[in-house]
Amino acid sequence: MGDLSPDIGVKLGRLVPMLSSPVAGEVVATAAAIGRTLNKAGMDWHDLAKRLTAPAQPQPCQRGPAGDDFAAGNAVLRAMADWLDKYALHRLTDKQRDFVANVRRMLAAGRRLSPAQKQYLADLHTRYGGGHG
């Protein structure tokens, strides 16, 4: 069985809803496209069915660089970014506003910030009064 990489998952996620088309030719073309996508990943329809019906596997707890719980660390970072967005946005430079907006999007998507991004966010938060109150 091949690997269902995130890229393959995204592609399949776009194709599967197309199977509901009322046009028979579109359904057949979509099924063929799904088959080709699975084939490129070293999989077939049977492998996909196994993946879809397999019980969910527990995910290991993600830990940050200092051993902090990843989710808890992200909650603190999100709170800093939200505070900057709510109370200091008008005082930030364009570059800083873009940074805060990007950080908020990244954290909402569950992505990790680099150590430099974490430090810059904390510095902005402190500089604009978020650490005092």
Annotated domain spans of the chain: 6-53, 70-127
What pLDDT does 68 receive?
47
Model-level pTM? 0.47
Comparing 1-15, 24-38, 60-74, 116-130, which segment has the lowest mean pLDDT? 60-74
**Rounded CA separation 13/127 (Å):** 43
**pLDDT (tens digit, 9 = 90+) per residue, 68-89?**
455 667 889 999 999 999 888 8
DSSP string, 23-55: -HHHHHHHHHHHHHHHHHTT--HHHHHHHHHSP
| pLDDT, tens only, 29-82 | 999 999 999 999 899 999 888 888 877 655 444 444 444 455 667 889 999 999
* Count of C-beta atoms within a 10 Å radius of residue 75: 12
